[in-house]
Chains A and B, each alone.
Chain A
């Protein structure tokens, strides 16, 4: 199965600053990559699919990029509601696999 590796595990950022999260696949997943945000006690929320397409209702401060094995999620100016865990997921091959997550915390 494809292993998804996210870095860093924890990212400490001040409100208003930019955050960049990375996700690497053990083999090419083309652009079949999604990003999710998850807050404690809640289900994952789809942010990005197709590596770079924002899901419905997702603010423009969230952007995704990458292809093949290297991907990134950028939050251009962190708002208080953005402090959460973020997961990447590949859907190029079965089984779906997720990264272990990056926790974005307040610095």
Chain B
């Protein structure tokens, strides 16, 4: 069974940092792109970042470029999202999702709250 499990969310002050993890199982992890998508009640689903199969190619939404870094460890079947210089508007549920275009597999999400 394909599973994606996010962790690492929590409460952080503005300007702070947080690292999210997405642990995968049930499939050959190294063959798939992984995305991070976030969701806030007011703005719906917003794509954040994507990493290719070997980590050599990454792209970011303009809103997080220069502050967030996506990476992966294929030996550990895990993707990471390092989030620095966090802002109140980064508050959201963060999902990881598998796929090169649409995504049939999503994790359950991890909540990030940026507040003082």
Contacts and interface: CB of A to CB of B under 8 A. Distances in A.
Interface in A35-58: 36, 42-46, 49, 55-56
A55 B104 CA distance: 8
B25 interface: no
Contacts, number: 47
Given A89-B102, A91-B101, A97 B107 contact: no
A43 B45 contact: no
Nearest to B106: A43
Contacts of B59: 94-95
A44 B45 contact: yes
A32 B44 CA distance: 20
Taking residues whose C-beta sits less than 8 angstroms from the other chain, chain A's interface range is: 20 to 34
Interface residues of B, number: 19
Interface string B99-116: 001111011110000000
B88 interface: no
Given A89-B45, A95-B47, A98-B44, A43 B95 contact: yes
Contact of B101 (A32, A87, A99, A101): A32
Given A49-B102, A87-B44, 13 more contacts: A34-B103, A43-B106, A43-B107, A43-B108, A44-B95, A46-B103, A55-B104, A87-B45, A94-B50, A95-B61, A96-B47, A99-B44, A100-B43
Interface of B: 35, 37, 43-47, 50, 59, 61, 95, 101-104, 106-109
